Structure 1
Amino acid sequence: MNLVLKIIGVLILAAIGTGFYFRLNDDVLLGDKIIGVAVLASAFILMPIFLYVRWKGKKLEDYTLSDKNFKKMRENERN
């Protein structure tokens, strides 16, 4: 899955670079479209896959403020 993330990331960066190349060569509209599609792909394709990979196998309750975690924090302050 990490390989998929890297490939998608490189493709998105290449698309952004291509968009800026087109913008510099007097085709601003096409360059803006390419950059826009790349940004949308990074937001709606790359980011969810990245979040899934990073959160896989972790317990959400370890990262939330619950009564049990408040008690742990209070005990750590006393020590």
Structure 2
Amino acid sequence: MKYVIILVVLASFGAIVYGFSLDEEQADLANKYIGSGTLGLFFVAMPLFLLTESRGKKMKDYMLNEENIRKMNEREKQKPGNQ
């Protein structure tokens, strides 16, 4: 999966760079390449990356709820120098 993500990112950046390198006469085609590269990054590569990196982790630990706020406050009080 790691290599698929890298491939999608490189292809997306390649499309964006190619879109910027096209002449002004082909502005419509350039915009399509730039747009498809951007969509590839944000709608394909980023969700794939987030899915692979968050596998096996509890989302409850990362949510800001009352229990986690209390834990953060307790840790802050226990730090040296905070009195």
TM-score when normalising by structure 1: 0.82
Detail structure 1 runs of 4+ shifted over 6 Å in the superposition. none
What is the aligned-residue RMSD (CA, Å)?
A: 1.6
2:68 corresponds in structure 1 to: 69
Aligned partners of 2:9 and 2:76: how far apart in 1?
42
- Any stretches of 5+ residues in structure 1 without a counterpart? none
Aligned partners of 1:70 and 1:18: how far apart in 2?
47
Aligned partners of 1:20 and 1:65: how far apart in 2?
41
Q: By how many angstroms is 1:56 displaced?
A: 1.0
Q: Say whether 1:58 aligns with 2:57.
A: yes
Residues 72 and 41 (structure 1), Cα distance of their counterparts in 2 relative to 1, 3 Å cut: same
Count of residues paired in the alignment: 78
Aligned partners of 1:9 and 1:21: how far apart in 2?
18
Q: Say whether 1:26 aligns with 2:19.
A: no
2:81 corresponds in structure 1 to: none
2:9–2:40 Cα contact (<8 Å) kept: no
SS for the counterpart of 1:74 is: helix
- Any stretches of 5+ residues in structure 2 without a counterpart? 79-83
